């Protein structure tokens, strides 16, 4: 059965190195390491049923830049069977912001902590099991220059694919936000794909214009959602989008303290 695995992460984390190594695409046909401008797809040479997608590096799924919009559209509309999220082991913190957003998509999700050869060379230790516990997903080590480790990372993503029922979002947001998201989710039931309920509830909570336009909620439903959002905004004394961003950063710092 054919299966699609999307490589997602910050620029320079090692996605293209992994992609080129496993697909064996000629250098001029693939993205060049260091500058990914386009989305590329190719089968894994040793396992042609697995299609890898190499995507431009991004820092967030907010559709503010062309690359972010392209990656977000690809993930939301095409829904790969799994996401392999590559973060830099040498500097994991910036990558984790995106990881918390990728988790919201409800797509089976595996994290690969990359550049581990450099981490090991520096004699640094990282507790990847802690990262698994906090992020609620499988975490593998990766040196993208080591073909065997690349293959193992993709295998982990293939194993995670098709296990949607085992997905559970990590505890990133506070209780008041989660309560509002559940309420918004009730309003959205039947209007969006069931496996993307959380993603769309978050978009409504953020008042994301594009997502709202696409959902076509009635004025009454919009008003119900607004009441839930405004209650959290009053409690947190901040706008809803900033509330989510701040809570993501607070979650990441607490994860970093444990790594
Ligand atoms: N030492 C080391 N360098 C890596 C590793 N992965 C990627 N690189 C280097 O980091 C740079 C960016 O890698 P690239 O694959 O283009 O990252 P991308 O932006 O995520 O596609 C390149 O110069 C790679 O050779 C790794 O695991 N170890
Ligand atoms: Mg690249």
Check: CB of residue 251 under 8 Å from CB of residue 181: no
- Whether ligand 1 lies within 6 angstroms of the CB of 10 is answered as no
CATH fold group of domain 175-258: Helix Hairpins (1.10.287)
- Whether ligand 1 lies within 6 angstroms of the CB of 34 is answered as yes
Which CA distances in Å does 230 have to 46, 178, 180, 186, 214? 53, 14, 10, 17, 22
What pLDDT was estimated at residue 63? 78
- Portions of the chain given CATH number 1.10.287.1770: 175-258
Which CA distances in Å does 91 have to 88, 122, 257, 259? 5, 13, 13, 12
Smallest CA separation from ligand 1 atom 19, residue: 12
Compute, in angstroms, the gap from residue 214 CA to the centroid of ligand 1: 37
Round to whole Å and give the CA distance between 237 and 243: 9
Compute, in angstroms, the gap from residue 136 CA to the centroid of ligand 2: 26
- Whether ligand 1 lies within 6 angstroms of the CB of 95 is answered as no
Q: For residue 144, which ligand has an atom nearest its CA?
A: 1
Q: What is the mean pLDDT of residues 132-155?
A: 95
What's the pLDDT tens digit per position in 191-206? 999 889 999 999 999 9
Q: Mutate which of 40, 86, 144 to test ligand 1's pocket (most atoms within 8 Å of Cβ)?
A: 144
Atom of ligand 1 nearest to the CA of 86: 20
Q: What is the mean pLDDT of residues 118-137?
A: 92
Per-chain mean pLDDT for the chain:
92
For the chain, what is the largest distance between any 2 Cα atoms, rounded to a whole number of angstroms?
Answer: 59
Which tokens in the block code for residue 237?
């004394």
What's the pLDDT tens digit per position in 3-27? 999 999 999 999 999 999 999 987 6
What's the pLDDT tens digit per position in 237-259? 999 999 999 999 999 999 999 98
With a cut of 80, say whether residue 164 has pLDDT above it: no
pLDDT band at 167; cut points 50, 70, 90: low
Round to whole Å and give the CA distance between 155 and 90: 23
Atom of ligand 1 nearest to the CA of 114: 27
Long-range interactions of 203-210: CB distance < 8 A, separation 24+: 204/229, 205/177, 205/180, 205/181, 205/229, 205/232, 205/240, 205/244, 206/240, 206/241, 206/244, 207/240, 207/241, 210/63
With a cut of 70, say whether residue 52 has pLDDT above it: yes
With a cut of 80, say whether residue 166 has pLDDT above it: no
pTM: 0.94
- Portions of the chain given CATH number 3.40.50.300: 3-166
CATH fold group of domain 3-166: Rossmann fold (3.40.50)
Element (H, E) at 235: helix 219-236
Compute, in angstroms, the gap from residue 168 CA to the centroid of ligand 1: 30
Work out the number of other CB atoms within 10 angstroms of the CB of residue 213: 9
């Amino acid at each position: 059965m054919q299966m699609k695995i999307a490589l997602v992460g910050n620029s320079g984390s090692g996605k293209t190195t992994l992609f080129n190594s496993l697909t064996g695409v000629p250098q001029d046909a693939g993205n060049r390491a260091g500058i990914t401008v386009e989305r590329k797809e190719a089968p894994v040479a040793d396992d042609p049923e697995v299609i890898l997608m190499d995507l431009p590096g991004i820092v967030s799924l907010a559709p503010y830049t062309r690359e972010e919009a392209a990656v977000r559209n690809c993930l939301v509309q095409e829904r790969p069977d799994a996401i392999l999220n590559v973060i830099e082991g040498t500097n994991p913190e910036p990558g984790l912001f995106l990881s918390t957003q990728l988790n919201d998509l409800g797509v089976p999700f595996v994290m690969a902590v990359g550049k581990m050869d450099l981490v090991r060379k520096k004699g640094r230790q990282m507790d990847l099991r802690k990262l698994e516990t906090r992020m609620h997903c499988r975490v593998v080590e990766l040196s993208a220059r080591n073909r065997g480790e690349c293959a193992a990372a993709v295998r982990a993503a293939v194993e995670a694919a098709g296990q949607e029922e085992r997905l559970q979002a990590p505890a990133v947001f506070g209780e008041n936000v989660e309560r509002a998201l559940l309420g918004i989710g009730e309003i959205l039931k039947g209007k969006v794909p069931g496996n993307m309920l959380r993603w769309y509830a978050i978009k409504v909570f953020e008042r994301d214009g594009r997502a709202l336009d696409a959902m076509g909620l009635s004025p009454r439903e919009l008003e119900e959602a607004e009441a839930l959002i405004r209650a959290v905004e009053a409690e947190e004394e901040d706008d809803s989008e900033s509330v989510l961003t701040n809570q993501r950063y607070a979650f990441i710092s607490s994860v970093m303290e444990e790594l």
